[in-house]
Amino acid sequence: MRLVFAGTPEVALPALDALIASEKHEVVAVVTRPDAPAGRGRRMVASPVAERAEEAGIEVLKPAKPRDPEFLARLGEIAPDCCPVVAYGALLPKAALEIPAHGWVNLHFSLLPAWRGAAPVQHSVLAGDEMTGASTFQIEEGLDSGPVFGVVTEEVRATDTSGDLLTRLAFAGAGLLEATMDGIENGTLLPVPQPAEGISLAPKITVEDAEIDWTAPALRVDRLVRACTPAPGAWTTFREERLKVVSARPVADRTDLEPGRLAATKKAVYVGTGSHAVELTWVRPQGKKPMLAADWARGVRIAEGERLGA
């Protein structure tokens, strides 16, 4: 099939690479978000998908909005058979959905209908799921509600951050998306409607959502830190300045600390929660680079009774 691939961030690259390398299909163009400011100089930078497509000599389309008439006209001229999508980042209008003969097929990083929305992996980690996966489905105008072509499953490990899990899903999902394109092309794969039960939503996790509540149980604190790593980053406050918690681990045998209260030894930093303590392993003070929590504690000289958070 002639494919137009839609995607923007680095997580979309394994799927794009797989389709470019496919002997059965041809990626004739990619659709991605417009260049955006990045880095300290805030210079305009192309998306990872745009850069990879340009390296491969593939046409790149960067509409400000997918409903732009110029974009729709160009997509009609290209006349793709199908448009595979991975983390494109914009809602597709009906006019765009109707152009490819086999529609738009999204690779979504959850086992639909669980975790429909922008942050499925983060919510899976936050909820303590033991199993998750990726799904390919036919895009329709609803939110991740279209019929499903196929799934792959992936175990959620006890120490997984969202970044760890998303990386594994990106590579497993790339194979699933390529197999889905094969099945659509040869007519052996038909999408199955999603069940009406088991629907859960995964809205974007904001910086405000990522603030640690030290009165919550240690298990909840651990999940929040892992779910918000690498972005937006779990955080708290210390001496009225923001402190990011890069990594932490529950310590079941330490129950002597009140929620938020700090205790530091030469090699470890503990914080009380609503249950048992957690040990901070890496932190990032405001305006500084990540550092070992023990090094941070020695530098700030934690006083007896000091706390994190409000």
Of 152, 202, 154, 147, the C-alpha closest to 177 is: 152
Name the pairing type of β-strands 36-38 and 43-45. Answer: antiparallel
Q: Is residue 308 part of an annotated ligand binding site?
A: no
Q: Is residue 14 part of an annotated ligand binding site?
A: no
CA distance 191 to 214: 45
Query: 224: which 2 tokens?
Result: 């929040």
Q: Is residue 111 part of an annotated ligand binding site?
A: yes
Residue with tokens 């110029």: 70
Name the strand (E) or helix (H) holding 164.
Answer: helix 162-186
Contacts of 155 (CB under 8 A, 6+ apart): 130, 131
The identity of residue 192, as a single letter, is: V
CA-CA-CA-CA torsion sign (95, 96, 99, 103): negative
CA distance 46 to 154: 31
What values do phi and psi take at 266, rounded to 5?
-65, -30
Query: 163: which 2 tokens?
Result: 């970044």
CA distance 129 to 123: 9
Radius of gyration from C-alpha coordinates of the chain: 22
Q: Is residue 110 part of an annotated ligand binding site?
A: yes
Of 268, 272, 283, 281, the C-alpha closest to 305 is: 272
Question: Which residues make up each annotated binding site for (6S)-5,6,7,8-tetrahydrofolate?
Answer: 110-113
Write out the binding residues: 110-113
